[in-house]
Amino acid sequence: MKKTTILDIARELDISFSTVSRALNDHKAISEPTKKAVKEMAERMGYQPNKIASSLRSGKSKTIGVLVPRLDVTFFSSVVHGIEAVMNENGYSILLYQSQEHFDREKKGIETFLNSQVEGIIASISLETDKSDAFAAVIKRNMPLAFFDRILPDLEVPSVTIDDYRGGFIATEHLIKKGRKKIVHINQYRNVNIFNERLRGYLDALKHYGLPIDEDLIIKGDFSLDFGRQCICDLVSKKIDFDAVFTLEDFTAMGVVQQLKEYSIKIPDDVSVVGFANEDFTSLVTPSISTVDQNSMGMGREVAHLFLKLLKKGDYYKHTPEKFVFEPTLLVRESSI
Amino acid sequence: MKKTTILDIARELDISFSTVSRALNDHKAISEPTKKAVKEMAERMGYQPNKIASSLRSGKSKTIGVLVPRLDVTFFSSVVHGIEAVMNENGYSILLYQSQEHFDREKKGIETFLNSQVEGIIASISLETDKSDAFAAVIKRNMPLAFFDRILPDLEVPSVTIDDYRGGFIATEHLIKKGRKKIVHINQYRNVNIFNERLRGYLDALKHYGLPIDEDLIIKGDFSLDFGRQCICDLVSKKIDFDAVFTLEDFTAMGVVQQLKEYSIKIPDDVSVVGFANEDFTSLVTPSISTVDQNSMGMGREVAHLFLKLLKKGDYYKHTPEKFVFEPTLLVRESSI
């Protein structure tokens, strides 16, 4: 890419480099007509002052990198919305990068941000991430870093999460209070903290209300609409008795609902369903799906505030990082009323 | 942000700046033990070679900026998915910026990209954008630019769009062939080319099949689920007779469906509904909503390919730009079967 330089402008106007430079910086030694001529030529030739070079010197690009697993789910796009709102109010721009749930892409994203002159990174880790090296490199460079939702607990950085244990507990408690006794829980096979916590909440709610834990009712797989459908097919073909399903997230719950409908199993009369995350579609479908809301906009706003505080402090890694934990809210809809 | 420099490493090891520099570049004049010591210290101190400075020199950051109105709708997140897939296959990373449909934010996004050392920009313009200055500045800097879906027709850059006129035509034609005679069309009030074309397709289909154009049945507003609901309320309260609704996009169609259900108007028996864009939820809701698919993944892959071709050519603005137009596909579902 050939960019217009001060030298090009100087050549075009047949004046010196330093005259152009001083004219562009409104130096008092330069006459108004010369300033005008230089600025017009700069405009005409598409000259842009080299802000990267100057941000290299000052370290202030007023841009923050946000690294997320994916943006095609309501939860993440909504957290990003919250982050953007606060950051824009404070004069910062946001650049986004999707890891698509892959560890390698996440590393690439961090590298891309480091090379793009962002002032710091706000991130939620991919499902594959179980090592902290890539993010540790950010800290090593003394660049501010904050996590939301999915964090690396061994890194001492600010974070905003929700109480996933509590989410699993209240979803299960709600089903128990509706008289359900054989509650299926669909979770996943990876060792991901937020999902483990939802499972722990489910188990503790059963214990708390004196219900037995039945291994047949705890299913682990990869979460998706299709996996939700598959789980119901398997339960039915294995003739396992159940009267409710609590899924780790909403797409799986949607699959559960679709398959139950195909089997003409009545929702919620025969089987109640509760999902997790309050994806947009859960309120649109019939029956509408009960779910656990994570206050995603609030989470975005909060992590942005923590991050701005961090930026102001300057010595990013000399303080005990602030950790904020949101309380989840159960939204009861037609699928479990 | 204080970064580790070569000088810091030199000071720490008490050797010269040039020895450190040459050791890091594997210069043959430097002994293996020294190289090892320098590299270990560089690693320990979090030293990162200044890739921005080197990309400033070469102009090759291997990063492309993608500027989109918003990522919380299936259409845009899915186009971005297509762009990412092709770009990653070709060794490029993608940074994303959301204009949130605002002209000012879009300008800010372009500026942020220009300052972030991307090699080029792929964009879809905001609803507010009716001037091309901000994007013209990208061209002036001789930086590659391509558009998808929503374009600025006066800028001579490659683009990938769909035939929106054809989309409006086939949606309306389908309703006519189902025997519908009083087809409402909900569009919007701004002068946005893609939406104007959908309206033109609707009008031409009516003409083609000899149906009258009834101004009472053409509604313009701001599109949203709530606006769709409002339109049905208004039609009913004004006692305007209608037997089908074709909306400019799917969220509006969702609102139409919800309000028709609330009035116990049967879908599709009393009123058929067709949306536009194939948003994820349209296949999940009951009744599922007929819609016009825009091959969003394909659009993303195609614009990425055009862009890569442009990058290879080098002289970005000396050729007639390639323009690719996709054919839309009608997906007939329960709402208009």
Q: Determine the 3-state secondary structure of A228 from DSSP.
A: helix
Residue with tokens 């890694």: A317
Q: What is the pLDDT of residues A38-90, one digit of tens each?
A: 888 888 887 876 554 444 445 578 999 999 999 999 999 999 999 999 999 99
List the single residue in A with minimal CA-CA distance to B91: A108
User: By the CB < 8 Å criterion, does B58 face chain A?
Assistant: no
Confidence at residue B1, expressed as pLDDT on a 0 to 100 scale? 44
- Which positions 228-257 of A are in contact with B (Cβ < 8 Å)? 254
Cβ atoms of B279 and B225 closer than 8 Å: no
Q: What is the pLDDT of residues B205-253, one digit of tens each?
A: 999 999 999 999 999 998 899 999 999 999 999 999 999 999 999 999 9
Task: State which fold the A61-162+296-326 domain adopts.
Answer: Rossmann fold (3.40.50)
Q: What is the pLDDT of residues B40-88, one digit of tens each?
A: 888 888 777 655 444 444 557 899 999 999 999 999 999 999 999 999 9
Bridging pattern class, strands B244-247 and B272-274: parallel
Number of A:B CB contacts under 8 A? 143
Measured in whole angstroms, the distance separating CA B314 from the mean position of its chain's CA atoms is 24
Cβ atoms of A269 and A255 closer than 8 Å: no
Confidence at residue A25, expressed as pLDDT on a 0 to 100 scale? 77
For A164-294+332-336, CATH gives 3.40.50.2300
Q: Where are the domains of chain A?
A: 6-49, 61-162+296-326, 164-294+332-336
Q: What is the pLDDT of residues B140-194, one digit of tens each?
A: 888 999 999 999 999 999 999 999 999 999 999 999 999 999 999 999 998 899 9
Of B63, B100, B108, the CB nearest to A116: B63
Of A46, A56, A95, the CB nearest to B52: A56
Q: Determine the 3-state secondary structure of A154 from DSSP.
A: coil
Token pair for B334: 């329960």
Confidence at residue B49, expressed as pLDDT on a 0 to 100 scale? 67
The span from the first CA to the last CA of chain A, in angstroms, equals 61
Cβ atoms of A155 and A131 closer than 8 Å: no
Please indicate whether, in this complex, the C-beta atoms of B61 and A88 are within 8 angstroms of each other. no
Q: What is the pLDDT of residues A270-299, one digit of tens each?
A: 999 999 999 999 999 999 999 999 999 999
Question: For the residues B113-130, what does the mean pLDDT come to?
Answer: 93
Please indicate whether, in this complex, the C-beta atoms of A63 and B115 are within 8 angstroms of each other. yes
Task: State which fold the B6-49 domain adopts.
Answer: 434 Repressor (Amino-terminal Domain) (1.10.260)
User: By the CB < 8 Å criterion, does A108 face chain B?
Assistant: yes
Confidence at residue B2, expressed as pLDDT on a 0 to 100 scale? 58
Query: Which DSSP symbol is given to A219?
Result: E
**B275 φ/ψ angles, rounded to the nearest 5 degrees:** -105, -160
Q: What is the mean pLDDT of each run of 10 residues along chain A (337 residues)?
A: 73 81 80 85 77 51 95 94 96 96 95 90 95 91 94 93 98 98 96 95 98 97 94 97 98 98 97 97 96 96 95 85 96 97
Token pair for A23: 């004219």
Residue with tokens 């709402």: B335
List the single residue in B with minimal CA-CA distance to A54: B115
Please indicate whether, in this complex, the C-beta atoms of B93 and A77 are within 8 angstroms of each other. no
What is the average pLDDT score of chain A?
92
Cβ atoms of B97 and A97 closer than 8 Å: no
Please indicate whether, in this complex, the C-beta atoms of B285 and A285 are within 8 angstroms of each other. yes
Same topology between domain A61-162+296-326 and domain A164-294+332-336: yes
Q: Residue B81: its chain A contacts at CB < 8 A? A: 72
Q: Decide: pTM greater than 0.90.
A: no
Instruction: Please name the residues in contact with B158: beta carbons below 8 A apart, sequence gap of 6 or more.
Output: B146, B147, B303, B306, B307, B309, B310, B321, B322, B323, B324
